[in-house]
Structures are given as structure tokens and as C-alpha cells.
Chain A
Amino acid sequence: MRRAFALSALLLCAEAASAQLPGLRRRDPVPVAPVLVGIDALRADFLARAGSDIVYFGGDAAVLTPPARMTLAAQAAWLRQHPEVVVRIEGYADPSDTRDHALAVGARRAEEVRSYLVLLGVPAAQLTTLSWGKEKVAVLGSAPAALALNRRAVTVLVR
């Protein structure tokens, strides 16, 4: 985090120098990608190394599919290297479910992900869970493909 701050300070100095010397087009050594700091930098790194922060579930189930297990293995590897990071696993049901049952299914999906991450060596103290039920849909519509994209658990870095 400290290095990121230093980089942005350097960038400010470079801009100030070029403003004082018009016509002298200096070769810019600083990459133009946005500078991420703190939790945003961690989230970007987590996404890049884990591949995805989302796993999907089939049908009415909370069973982890082989692709979901691969994603979670990568998430677990990252979380083991960042024991200071706390994550919230958010479970969702699709909108064709009924209101009460959806809350329970979302919780069960989040719990399934949490248990698997613990199994892969992530300390339980790093993990919390939350169900959104059938609220906050990711994709609108009642087509099977849209419903499938809502049956999910998302690993959210909290701090």
C-alpha cells in the first residue's frame, strides 16, 4: 500500500515538471493504468489470481460442481497467502424460488462455499456468510440461462 502511495506522489511531481517546461516532451515511465490502493488493490489481485469471485450452482441444489471447486481452490490459495483479509461469502437463489425458501437456499450455498474453503485450509475466522435469498438478481428474466446465472455464491473481500 505504501509503495502505491509513493508512485502516485511521483506521478504528481512528473506532471508538475512537464507543466513548467513546455515543449520538452518527457518520456513517461509511469504506466497509465489506474493506481489501486488498499482493499481495491487486494480485490483486483484476488480476481486476477483466483480467476473469479463467483461460483454457480445447478438446479435447486447447493452442491459444488467441479468448475466451482477449481475456482474455490484458487480462492483458497490466495486467502491462505492473505490471512489479514476478511471475506463475506454471499449466497443467492434464483427468482423462480419462493421468498422464504430462497433465503434458506442462499444461506446453504454460502455455507457450502465456506465449508469447502475451510477444508482447503483457510482459517474459519477469515470467513463470514450472508444470504440475499432471491433479492438483488444478477441477471433479469425468467429464461433458464438467466435463472442459472442467479444461482450463485460470491466471495466479497470486506477488509
Chain B
Amino acid sequence: MTVRFAPLVPIALALLAAPAAAQEPASVIAVPPMTTPDGSDRGAGGPAAIAWQATQLIASDLRSTAELVPVGPNQKDYYSYPEVTAPTFSRWRAQGAKFLLTGFVRANSDGRFTVGCYVYDVNKGRELGRIGFAVSSDDWRRAAHKCSGLAYTAATGAAAGMFDTQIAYVAETGAGLTKVKRIAVMDSDGNNQRFVTVGDSLVLTPRLSPRGGDVAYVSFVGGLPHIRVVDFDSNQQRPLVPTGGMTFAPRYSPDGNRVAFSMQQGPSTNIYVVSSAGGVPQRLTASPGIDTSPSFSPDASQIVFESDRSGAQQLYVMDANGSGQHRITFGGGWYADPVWSPDGQWIAFTRRIPGVGTRIGVIKPDGTGEQLLTTGPGDESADWAPSSRELIFERTGLDGRPALYRVAIGGGEARRVATPQAGSDPDWSGVID
């Protein structure tokens, strides 16, 4: 997954859509079957087979978004190899498409495959971007996800790399007192799930390291809840800090070098930060109440957190060294679980409204523009998609079983994210290179 044969063309900024504006109608993108050079092997595992599967995966990726409606792949829409870079735009305009994704898969002499994708504005007859990779036959899925990301970025202006990402969550089996919780990590399209913990002790709130490979989470192993870090390739794990007290609510800094978390001392809980390699934690808050759920701004200069220092829990922002603490929410009920968006524009939160339940909302870091995005009554634990345009969250149904959902901040219904087990505490990774 290395040799990129064409640089990603910078996308016209005029396409940038204002986030959280009134819901825009979804755009149709034609996704006809990717083609192969003439004379390619048509057998199973050959370029033609991979081209068909890759196109299906791209359509599935784009269908999972709120902004794009893919049409295809349909067998009747095959096009020739030269048409990859010179499409007949009138053909796709007639299908009502605003965008078009073409591409090809070619077998190389070294046994690898070249996957190339191109995205066009159909009305203007203009190329918006291209991307390509030389991959082993096992890696075509990642190349296809990168193609989906190219189309999504071209159409919405969102940051690139949306689909080649991972989601960590707590997989739940059983119910009530016999419930077993295990930390699972899966590709964001729901494939390739594996368990990081074996279910021998209670676990909560997995957080993927931005560098990949590590998950910080809360474990009850040994009795006292505390943060552990596991490398999920080697399965080696260790406590984040050596402490006799309860530690919880971990979140990595955007560069992955630090972890902000909460530590309990007697009746009060405060926020600390520590190197992700370990060491001596630095204390950031010192209120007699409960300060928890810290989350870094994308430039790592600030931290948003929740505190009950004024009564009910509200959201506060402070500098990353603990100075300048100020409150940003003033609504009724409680505000909890703040998470800063990757583009820095929004802070997602869970709002508890007495008699209504818990709902997911967003607010700007200066405390303006609050809006609730979900209906509840049992929604919580939101985290951002790498695009900053969607949230993944946990919704508990009437049967008491939690499931993962995603919702666009531009509006629209929340949609279920398929997981093999009941799921809670989702964490969506950033872009993986």
C-alpha cells in the first residue's frame, strides 16, 4: 500500500460546504464498475474480479454517508479503458448524476495490482481528483476505501481518508448481571473485527491512539477501575499510570504523545495529563467537585471537559496547562462527555434532560450555536468521524441493549452501524496513512 502513482489533486475550496447548516439534499454519484485494460485475466482473483468487488465496496462506503447517494455498480454501465480518463459525461448526466467515479485495476508483472480512481464533476465535465496505489492482492480493500475517500472529499470538501479508518467499541454479550464486555476493534466498514480483551474483567471506554496500534481503556481487573494501554498487535498491556487510586476517562492528544484522564481522590475527581509512554502525571484541575471527560482541541492547545463545580455538570474549556478555565454551556439539565471535532469547529456532547433522557448535540467552542442532533431517550458517548461531519454514538433501546448509530451534523436521521454484538462506548479513529 505504498507507491502512489499520481498525487492527490488539491480540491477546489469552493466546494466546501458549511457544516451544520440546514440539511443539504444528498448528491447522486455514478459508480459504474471499474474497468481493466484489454486482455486482462477474467478469472477469479484476477483484475476483473477485484475491479467488480472494489466498485461494490466503494458504493457501499458512499452509501453509508448522509451526503452522497451512489448509483451502481450495474453491469450495463461498463465502459472502456480509455474512458477512465475521458468519460462520456452526457451518459452520466442522463442518469441524474452530479458526480462520477471511474477507475481501473491492472495486474502488474510482479504479482501486485495497480488500482486507480478518478472523480469528476459531471455537469462541468471536469476532473476533481485522482488517486492510485500499487497493492498486493490482500490490500485492494484499503485502496478501494481510499477511492471512496477521494470521492467523498471531492463532493463534500471534508478531510480526506474518511473510509480507511477503524472503530473501537465495547462489544456486549449477555444482559443484566451476566453481561460480558470485551473491547473490539473493526474497520469502519464493519469488516475485520477482532477482540482486544478476552472478557475476563469488566472494560469501558476504549480510545484508539492516533498513531494506531494502541488502545487506552478502563479495566476493572484486580478490583479498582484503572486505565490500561494495550498494543493490539502484540496484545501486551500495562497500566497507564502506577497509582493506587481510580483512573478513568482517557483521551489521547492529537499527536498521540499524551493522554488526558481523570483520577479520583476521596470524594473529588480531577483531570491530569501524562505522557502516553508513562511517567509522572501533571494535575490540571483542582476543584472539590467532579471534573472528568477531558478532550483535546485538534491543535492540542486547549482541553474541553465537564465539571459539576457550579451544581449540575456543565462543559468547560481550559488551556492545555490547566489555566484559563471557563464555562461554555449554560442550559438546563446536565452536559457531559464533550469531544472536540478533528477540524476544531465543534464540540459534541451528551445532554441529560430531566424527564426526557439523554441526547447528542454539538456546540461551538465559544459556547454559541448549540443544537441537539438526536431524539434520545438513551443516546450517549458520541465521537467524531474523521470527516468532522458525522458522529458515532451509543443508543440504548427499550430492551436495554445498546447499539452503535451515526448521525450527520448537517441534519437527518440517525442510522444504525452494524456490529456483530451489542455495542457501547464507540471510538472512531483518525485517518490511517
A residues sitting closer than 8 Å to B (CB atoms) are 60, 62, 95-101, 103-105, 107-108, 111-112, 115, 130-131, 133, 135-137, 140-142
| Chain B min CB distance to A71 (Å) | 20
Give the chain B neighbours of A141 by CB distance below 8 A: 400
Tell me the complex Cα distance, A115–B266, Å. 9
Give the chain B neighbours of A112 by CB distance below 8 A: 267
Give the chain B neighbours of A95 by CB distance below 8 A: 396
| Chain B min CB distance to A42 (Å) | 20
Which residue from chain A places its CB closest to the CB of B175 in the assembled complex? A140
* CB pair A107 B337 closer than 8 Å: no
* CB pair A103 B313 closer than 8 Å: no
Tell me the complex Cα distance, A130–B337, Å. 22
B residues sitting closer than 8 Å to A (CB atoms) are 175-177, 202, 204-205, 218, 220, 223-225, 246, 248-249, 262, 264, 266-269, 290, 292-293, 306, 312-313, 334, 336-337, 350, 352, 357-358, 377-378, 380-381, 396, 400, 424-425
Which residue from chain B places its CB closest to the CB of A88 in the assembled complex? B223
* CB pair A62 B267 closer than 8 Å: yes
Partner of B352, one of A96, A103, A140, A142: A96
Give the chain B neighbours of A137 by CB distance below 8 A: 176-177
* CB pair B292 A104 closer than 8 Å: yes
The answer to whether A103 and B225 touch (CB under 8 A), given A60-B312, A108-B267, is: yes
* CB pair A101 B357 closer than 8 Å: no
* CB pair A100 B267 closer than 8 Å: no
Partner of A96, one of B175, B225, B358: B358
Tell me the complex Cα distance, A60–B292, Å. 16
Which residue from chain A places its CB closest to the CB of B266 in the assembled complex? A111
Which residue from chain A places its CB closest to the CB of B176 in the assembled complex? A140
Tell me the complex Cα distance, A101–B249, Å. 9
Q: What are 18 A-B residue pairs whose CB atoms fall within 8 Å in the complex?
A: A60-B334, A96-B352, A98-B334, A98-B350, A98-B358, A98-B381, A99-B381, A100-B337, A101-B336, A107-B246, A107-B269, A130-B224, A131-B225, A135-B220, A136-B177, A141-B400, A142-B357, A142-B378
Partner of A101, one of B204, B266, B290, B424: B290
| Chain B min CB distance to A134 (Å) | 10
The answer to whether A103 and B246 touch (CB under 8 A), given A96-B352, A98-B358, A135-B202, is: yes
* CB pair B357 A96 closer than 8 Å: yes
Give the chain A neighbours of B249 by CB distance below 8 A: 100, 103
Give the chain B neighbours of A62 by CB distance below 8 A: 267
Give the chain B neighbours of A105 by CB distance below 8 A: 290
Tell me the complex Cα distance, A97–B352, Å. 8
Tell me the complex Cα distance, A133–B264, Å. 13
Question: Apart from A130-B223, A133-B204, A136-B202, what are 11 other A-B pairs with CB-CB below 8 Å?
Answer: A60-B334, A95-B396, A98-B350, A100-B205, A103-B246, A104-B292, A108-B267, A108-B269, A115-B267, A130-B224, A141-B400
Tell me the complex Cα distance, A141–B398, Å. 8
Give the chain A neighbours of B293 by CB distance below 8 A: 98, 100-101
The answer to whether A99 and B262 touch (CB under 8 A), given A60-B312, A133-B225, is: no
* CB pair B377 A100 closer than 8 Å: no
| Chain A min CB distance to B269 (Å) | 4
Which residue from chain B places its CB closest to the CB of A107 in the assembled complex? B264
Tell me the complex Cα distance, A113–B385, Å. 42
Give the chain A neighbours of B269 by CB distance below 8 A: 104, 107-108
| Chain B min CB distance to A60 (Å) | 7
The answer to whether A98 and B248 touch (CB under 8 A), given A131-B225, A135-B202, is: no
| Chain A min CB distance to B250 (Å) | 10
Max chain B C-beta neighbours (<10 A), residue from A99, A115, A130: A99
Tell me the complex Cα distance, A107–B264, Å. 8
| Chain A min CB distance to B243 (Å) | 14
Which residue from chain A places its CB closest to the CB of B335 in the assembled complex? A98
Give the chain B neighbours of A99 by CB distance below 8 A: 204-205, 337, 380-381, 424-425
* CB pair A98 B225 closer than 8 Å: no
* CB pair B224 A100 closer than 8 Å: no
Which residue from chain A places its CB closest to the CB of B261 in the assembled complex? A100
The answer to whether A101 and B176 touch (CB under 8 A), given A108-B290, A131-B264, A133-B225, is: no
* CB pair B290 A104 closer than 8 Å: yes
Tell me the complex Cα distance, A62–B288, Å. 14
